[in-house]
Amino acid sequence: MIKHKSFSLADLAQRFQLELSGDPSLSICGVGTLANAMPGQLSFLANPRYRKELSATRASAVVLAPAEASAAPCAVLLSPNPYASFARIAALFDTTSEAPVGVHPSAVIDESAEIDPSASIGPSVFIGPRTRVDAHALIGAGCVIGEDCVVGVRSHLVARVTLVKRVRLGTDCLIHPGAVLGADGFGLAMDAGHWIKVPQLGGVILGDHCEIGANTTIDRGALEDTVLEDDVRIDNQVQIGHNVNIGAHTAIAGCAAVAGSAKIGRYCLIAGGAGVVGHIEICDRVTVSAMSLVTHSLTTPGSYSSGVPLQETRDWRRNAARFRHLDELARRVKSSQNNENIE
Q: What was the pLDDT predicted at 98? A: 84
**Percent share of the chain, pLDDT over 90:** 87
Instruction: Please give the order of strands across the beta sheet that includes 211-212.
Output: 102-103, 120-121, 138-139, 156-157, 174-175, 211-212, 233-234, 251-252, 269-270, 286-288, 302-304
Give the tens place of pLDDT for each residue, 200-211: 999 999 999 999
Please state, in angstroms and rounded to a whole number, the distance separating the CA atoms of residues 115 and 100.
14
176 is a catalytic site residue = no
DSSP state of 60: S
For residues 26 and 140, membership in a common domain is answered with no
Strand 7-8, strand 27-28: pairing = antiparallel
Residues 6+ apart with CB under 8 A from 314: none
DSSP string, 164-185: EESEEE-TT-EE-TT-EEEEPP
Q: What was the pLDDT predicted at 308? A: 81
DSSP state of 294: E
Smallest CA-to-CA distance from 239 within 181, 195, 281 is with 181
Amino acid at position 96, single letter: T
Band of pLDDT at residue 320, cut at 50, 70 and 90: confident
For residues 199 and 276, membership in a common domain is answered with yes
Which run of H or E residues covers position 162?
strand 162-165
For residues 271 and 335, membership in a common domain is answered with no
Mean pLDDT of 228-238: 98
Query: Residue 24: which CATH number?
Result: 3.40.1390.10
For residues 150 and 180, membership in a common domain is answered with yes
Q: What was the pLDDT predicted at 342? A: 61
For residues 111 and 147, membership in a common domain is answered with yes
Catalytic residue among 156, 209, 242, 249: 242
Decide if 2 is inside a domain. Answer: no
Residue 320: domain span? 313-342
pLDDT at 343 over 80: no
For residues 65 and 170, membership in a common domain is answered with no
pTM above 0.85, yes or no: yes
pLDDT at 162 over 90: yes
For residues 30 and 106, membership in a common domain is answered with no
Decide if 84 is inside a domain. Answer: yes
Q: What was the pLDDT predicted at 2? A: 44
Mean pLDDT of 178-182: 98
For residues 328 and 235, membership in a common domain is answered with no
Decide if 27 is inside a domain. Answer: yes
How many domains, the chain? 3
For residues 251 and 147, membership in a common domain is answered with yes
For residues 285 and 162, membership in a common domain is answered with yes
Decide if 12 is inside a domain. Answer: yes
Decide if 1 is inside a domain. Answer: no
Q: What was the pLDDT predicted at 337? A: 75
Decide if 46 is inside a domain. Answer: yes
For residues 88 and 223, membership in a common domain is answered with no
Query: Residue 145: which CATH number?
Result: 2.160.10.10
